[in-house]
Amino acid sequence: MTSNNNEVRQYIDKVLEDIKIKNPSEYEFHQATKEVLSSLKPLLLKEPRYMQNSILERIVIPERTIIFRVSWMDDNHKIQINTGYRVQFNSSVGIYKGGLRFHPSVNLGIIKFLGFEQIFKNSLTGLSIGGAKGGSDFDPKGKSDGEILRFCQSFMNELYRHIGSTKDVPAGDIGVGGREIAYLFGQYKKLTGLFDGVLTGKGLNYGGSMARTEATGYGSVYFAQNVLKSVNKEIKGMRCCVSGSGNVALYTIQKLHTLGAVAVACSDSKGTLYHENGLDFETLKEIKEVNHGDLKTYTEIFEDSIYTPKEHYAQDTHHIWSIPCDIAFPSATQNELNLHDAKNLIANGVLLVNEGANMPTTLEATKYLIENGVLFAPAKAANAGGVATSQLEMAQNSSMVSWSFEEVDKKLKDIMDGIFKRAYETAKEFGCEGDLIMGTNIAGFKKVADAMIRQGV
Ligand code: NDP
């Protein structure tokens, strides 16, 4: 028995409408659920068991949402209060896994959108990992090391009781890098007396994995290589714009250069940097990763580079997307590439948009890019290298071994090739060859939904 078109459309629309009614101010979550559910239509038409088992209604509600107070003392001995979150979204195919974000914009809607996307991303890796996300509206910028330490300790004072190496394993995300993971891990260890793989992204001298730092950026470029190969092109010689200059952006730039492509621009929350002959990775790393500094200082070292502060961007645009390039790698944050940006990219002949950040492209921009023949690599597939390598870190922790950089990098590349293959072939199976959004969403969803059905109500 198959469902008919109207029935499926009404089912999807009803679930999306209910999400808006029950979670009125969670705009990013509305966007993420709309993007996924709308692309599942061909699957629901062909296989009615998902409707019969109320899978959509179930999958859009987290299994558990934890919201908690985080109070900590600043350097002036004043008590500061933030909100902490952990959304354990779905554990049908494995333990909860997903990063922690510390950024002033964090709210429940943002954590839910990230946790929801994480379900399908993790499923698509082919590994056994469920979906979760967490974080806080704490802003690490401008804080002393002592303040970051005290915040992380207070955050973990509540979080520790909800996580564990066979239960929920958080990692980093925006504002949570090696320093924060180390402080969080130290406090978890004090509270529980356990030295186990409860967090990933750990330092190499206390259980971290080689190549985890590089993994999301490298993986994003490996994915782009696969997309280009499917249209008989190669990455060598391509000019690229990579937004952001954090973890994902930096290692995207490094891998692009290794493969003979040229990254000409990057950005941060204050402005955009353009270097026609190619950005210098080591200098960028020193400024942003080591010194947590300002991108503008790059121009003091390379006088032929150009810095454009945010205040000079044309209205409603992000300057980086008006710079001509063959490949755009949005790798900073959500909704950083809008319809105006998409039009600028197309006018300058962009070939591929490869999402390094989570949901960086608005729904309107995505539609416009695709309608105009631009290749599109969605985040759930293109940036899955980070979480996949986190799982490799967990595997090394539990078996007490350490793999070399080359071994981990090779496994990462194989995983990214596998993700591309699954997304590409799924799209083909459903009559939409080349539509990687549909292929990614259907392949990621199917595995989780089938596990939910098998496991009962
Ligand atoms: P980082 O904190 O290391 O870097 C974020 C970068 O984006 C910084 O350059 C920051 O600028 C910029 N940025 C952040 N918010 C804004 C904003 N509102 N407007 C403009 N620029 C902004 O984070 P990551 O590199 O780890 O994460 C980037 C993206 O990739 C996120 O969407 C994250 O969810 C996603 N991701 C990360 C993974 C990982 O392994 N790290 C895995 C999968 C996805 P500034 O320096 O000025 O703050």
pLDDT tens, position by position, 333-358: 999 999 999 999 999 999 999 999 99
Nearest to 59 by CA among 98, 16, 99: 16
Nearest to 285 by CA among 316, 317, 254, 242: 254
- The residue nearest atom 32 of ligand 1, judged by CA position, is 357
Rounded Cα–Cα distance for residues 141 and 151 (Å)? 13
pLDDT at 1 over 60: no
pLDDT at 319 over 80: yes
Pocket test for ligand 1, best of 119, 202, 255, 269 (most atoms within 8 A of CB): 269
Please work out whether the CB of residue 357 comes within 6 Å of at least one atom of ligand 1: yes
pLDDT tens track for 262-293: 999 999 999 999 999 999 999 999 999 999 89
pLDDT tens track for 54-112: 999 999 999 999 999 999 999 999 999 999 999 999 999 999 999 999 999 999 999 99
pLDDT tens track for 112-132: 999 999 999 999 999 999 999
Please work out whether the CB of residue 200 comes within 6 Å of at least one atom of ligand 1: no
Nearest to 219 by CA among 419, 7, 360, 3: 419
Rounded Cα–Cα distance for residues 145 and 151 (Å)? 10
State the average pLDDT over residues 287-310.
Answer: 95
Rounded Cα–Cα distance for residues 399 and 358 (Å)? 31
- Alpha carbon 363 to chain centroid distance? 17
Rounded Cα–Cα distance for residues 115 and 416 (Å)? 21
Q: If you measure from the C-alpha of residue 280 to the centroid of ligand 1, how many angstroms do you get, rounded to a whole number?
A: 19
Under 8 Å between Cβ of 249 and 329: yes
What pLDDT score does 2 carry? 61
Percent of the chain with pLDDT over 70: 99
pLDDT tens track for 368-422: 999 999 999 999 999 999 999 999 999 999 999 999 999 999 999 999 999 999 9
Q: Give just the sign of the alpha carbon dihedral 151, 157, 162, 165.
A: positive
Please work out whether the CB of residue 390 comes within 6 Å of at least one atom of ligand 1: no
- The residue nearest atom 7 of ligand 1, judged by CA position, is 332
Percent of the chain with pLDDT over 90: 99
Please work out whether the CB of residue 216 comes within 6 Å of at least one atom of ligand 1: yes
Long-range contacts of the stretch 56-60 (C-beta < 8 A, 24+)? 56/11, 56/12, 56/15, 57/15, 57/18, 58/452, 59/90, 59/119, 59/445, 59/448, 59/449, 59/452, 60/15, 60/19, 60/33, 60/116
What pLDDT score does 332 carry? 98
Q: State the closest ligand 1 atom to the C-alpha of 332, by its place in the atom list counted from 1.
A: 7
pLDDT tens track for 410-451: 999 999 999 999 999 999 999 999 999 999 999 999 999 999
Burial class (CB in 10 A: 0-12, 13-18, 19+), 9: middle
* DSSP line for 308-357: EEGGGSPTT--GGGGS--SEEE--SSTT-B-HHHHHHHHHTT--EEE--S
Average pLDDT, the chain: 97
296 belongs to the catalytic site? no
What pLDDT score does 311 carry? 97
Q: If you measure from the C-alpha of residue 281 to the centroid of ligand 1, how many angstroms do you get, rounded to a whole number?
A: 17
pTM, 2 dp: 0.96
Tokens 């933030």 sit on residue: 82
